[in-house]
């Protein structure tokens, strides 16, 4: 039995939450479905940890779906990079689920909770599937599974605020456009190469050489994923979706969905398109680099002027995605390490911050910053978690945010792009401003009269503090994350055919 489980671990990673989703819907109302979904999220985390341990050693793990050998059949292919992302996604899910019980109970009617957890598990299935698969079309299918369930999850914020419905609809339109672009791009690649397996695509594209169809495919995939990951001018769906979704959903998707999209971008840029160094590099340098820098500043500036805490954090997420894209645009080993390590660092930081925002929503009934005056005295633990997470967002030493920025600055200095290094530090100052606004309101301003705010329940505080603890732990000793990121960058570079700047 154990033997069967071990050989089928890659399939189980996706199948366990997939099978659990309909079962969860049938369990009926309330705590039963929650307990079941939580158990499943722990199980998937355990699976992804064992996959990471297996992949960390070196050789990628390959699993053939239905016994059909790749490139004909669908292949699940796990190397250090996607094992790392799998662990982020399932780890965040395993922390959000215990947190979700109280938060969801207050935001969603009891008879709908079973469906809520079903959609949550489906979203988890989709995100894990996107990450684990080695088949380009399979990426699209799982991307749609995760996106469709995310639309439903965002819309379920409508019991708190009806505007969640328009936010979800907006996200649906933008997300569908993104998915369509993505699948058109894959269609073009299929037209040229006749294959959908990523490793096979890479080889055949290299043999085929450059062509206009290939470039069009590249651009379609780039824009399609850009929409999914809220790349700066394509980010308009994100602020509303994040601020009106139920708190547990926001902390889950903010920490995972965009990270998975960044992973897909990395995979396609470097593993699949190894075809034309000049075109790829010029796109990254002339399009992605400016876009990333504008995102860092514009989104941070907008964040400063937001009154709603969740909305402010959403804009800050767009800025943080700018950092990830910046690391990618450097096209060096250090830059890639920065991007990959920031996937983890931002997931931990933003997950914690959105959990804190959810605690405020539960206790104070709102996440508006002006109504959080004096909350530092009423909810000391929650507010302290916000401060710790905020410091990591700014990038203070001894937090994970510092590690990411350190690698980013190092990568830009390696290339001699010192203005970029200055810009990275400059944008951190903007983060200081918007984090400080909340800290000032929470600690320095008097509480409004007659408002009673209780400290958030332990089931919500503990997951938030675990994430804060992780963000400090890996800020002090980053050897595990950076070694994993460095190995992942090595695999990406090793699998790509382009010439690398040394």
Partner 1 sequence: MKHHSILRVVSKLLIPPIILYALYVQWHGDYGPGGGFQAGVVFAVAFILYALVYGVDEMMRILPPRLLHALAGIGVLIYAGTGVVTMLLGENFLGYNVLAHDPKHGQEWGIIVVELGVGITVASVMMSIFIAFACHNPPIKDEEW
Chain contacts with partner 1 (rule: CB under 8 A): 4, 8, 11, 15, 18-19, 21-23, 25-26, 63-67, 162-163, 165
In angstroms, give the least distance from the CB of 78 to partner 1.
15
- The rounded distance, in Å, linking the Cα atoms of 307 and 243 is 11
Smallest separation (angstroms) from partner 1 to the CB of 196: 17
CB of 311 to partner 1, least distance (A): 17
457-482 as b/e: b if 16+ CB within 10 A? eeebbebbbbbbebbbbbbeebeebb
Q: How far is the CB of 22 from partner 1 (least distance, A)?
A: 3
Cα angle 171, 175, 176 (rounded to 5 degrees) comes to 120
In whole angstroms, give the CA distance from residue 493 to residue 332. Answer: 9
Give least dist CB 17 to partner 1, A.
10
Element (H, E) at 61: strand 61-64
Q: Are 264 and 130 in contact (CB under 8 A)?
A: yes
**Closest CB to partner 1 among residues 21, 347:** 21
Q: Minimum Å distance from CB 9 to partner 1? A: 11
Q: Specify the residue for token string 């929409």.
A: 227
Helix, strand or coil for residue 308? strand
Nearer of residues 7 and 501 to partner 1, judged by Cβ: 7
Joined together, the tokens standing for residue 152 give 């439903």
Q: Which is nearer to partner 1, 163 or 454 (CB)?
A: 163
Phi, psi of 332 (to 5 degrees): -130, 170
Nearer to partner 1, 46 or 422 (CB): 46
| Of 26 and 452, CB closest to partner 1 | 26
Contact criterion met (CB below 8 Å) for 179 and 191: no
Contact 493, 270 (CB under 8 A): yes
**DSSP conformational letter for 454:** P
In angstroms, give the least distance from the CB of 361 to partner 1.
Answer: 19
CA dihedral 271, 276, 282, 284 (to 10 degrees): -10
In this structure, what DSSP letter does residue 234 have?
A: G
Closest to partner 1 by CB, 125 vs 300, is 125
Whose Cβ is closer to partner 1: residue 67's or residue 450's?
A: 67
Tell me the closest approach of the beta carbon of residue 115 to partner 1, in angstroms.
8
- Smallest Cα–Cα separation from 259: which of 351, 148, 395, 171? 351
Q: Between 162 and 454, whose beta carbon lies closer to partner 1? A: 162
Identify whether the C-beta of residue 281 lies closer than 8 Å to the C-beta of residue 211. Answer: no
15 or 415, CB closer to partner 1? Answer: 15
> In angstroms, what is the minimal distance from the CB of 286 to partner 1?
42
Secondary structure in 3-state letters for 323-360: HHHHHHHHCCHHHHHHHHHHHHHHHHHHHHHHHHHHHH
Q: How far is the CB of 231 from partner 1 (least distance, A)?
A: 29
Q: Give 162 or 377: the residue with its C-beta nearer to partner 1.
A: 162
Six token digits for residue 257 = 């969905």
For residues 90 and 252, what is the distance between their CA atoms, to the nearest angstrom? 10
**CA–CA gap between residue 129 and residue 106 (Å, rounded):** 31
């Amino acid at each position: 039995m154990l033997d069967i489980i071990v050989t089928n671990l890659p399939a189980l990673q996706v199948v366990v939450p997939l099978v659990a989703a309909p079962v969860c819907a049938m369990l009926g109302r309330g705590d039963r479905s929650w307990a079941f979904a939580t158990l499943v999220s722990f199980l998937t985390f355990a699976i992804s940890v064992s996959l990471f341990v297996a992949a960390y050693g070196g050789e990628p793990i390959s699993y053939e779906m239905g016994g059909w050998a790749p490139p004909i059949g669908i292949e699940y292919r796990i190397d250090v990079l996607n094992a790392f992302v799998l662990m982020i996604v399932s780890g965040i899910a395993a922390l959000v689920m215990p947190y979700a019980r109280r938060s969801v109970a207050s935001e969603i009617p009891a008879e709908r909770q079973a469906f809520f957890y079903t959609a949550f598990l489906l979203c988890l299935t989709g995100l894990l599937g996107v990450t684990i698969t080695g088949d380009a079309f399979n990426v699209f299918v799982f991307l749609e599974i995760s996106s469709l369930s995310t639309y439903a999850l965002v819309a379920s914020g409508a019991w708190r605020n009806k505007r969640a419905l328009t936010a979800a609809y907006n996200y649906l339109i933008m997300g569908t456009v993104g998915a369509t672009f993505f699948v058109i791009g894959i269609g073009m690649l299929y037209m040229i190469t006749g294959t959908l397996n990523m490793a096979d695509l890479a080889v055949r594209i290299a043999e085929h050489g450059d062509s206009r169809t290939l470039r069009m495919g590249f651009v379609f995939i780039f824009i399609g994923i850009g929409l999914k990951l809220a790349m700066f001018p394509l980010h308009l769906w994100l602020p509303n979706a994040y601020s009106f979704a139920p708190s547990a959903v926001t902390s889950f998707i903010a920490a995972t969905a965009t990270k998975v999209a960044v992973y897909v971008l990395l995979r396609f840029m470097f593993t699949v398109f190894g075809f034309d160094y000049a075109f790829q590099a010029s796109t990254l340098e002339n399009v992605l680099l400016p876009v990333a820098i504008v995102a860092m500043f514009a989104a941070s500036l907008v964040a400063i002027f937001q009154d709603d805490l969740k909305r402010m954090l959403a804009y800050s997420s767009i800025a943080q995605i700018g950092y990830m894209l910046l690391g990618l645009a450097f096209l060096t080993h250090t830059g890639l390490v920065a991007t990959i390590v920031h996937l983890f660092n931002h997931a931990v930081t933003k997950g914690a911050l959105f959990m804190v925002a959810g605690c405020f929503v539960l206790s104070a009934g709102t996440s508006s910053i002006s109504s959080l005056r004096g909350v530092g005295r009423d909810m000391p633990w929650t507010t302290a978690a916000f401060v710790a997470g905020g410091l990591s967002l700014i990038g203070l030493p001894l937090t994970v945010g510092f590690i990411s920025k350190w690698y980013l600055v190092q990568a830009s200095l390696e290339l001699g792009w010192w203005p970029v290094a200055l810009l990275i530090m400059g944008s951190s100052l903007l983060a200081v401003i918007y984090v400080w606004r909340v800290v000032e309101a929470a600690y320095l301003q008097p509480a409004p009269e007659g408002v009673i705010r209780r400290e958030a329940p332990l089931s919500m505080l503990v997951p938030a503090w675990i994430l804060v603890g992780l963000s400090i732990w890996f800020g002090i000793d980053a050897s595990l994350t950076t070694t994993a990121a460095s190995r992942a960058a090595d695999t990406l570079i090793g699998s790509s055919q382009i010439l690398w700047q040394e």
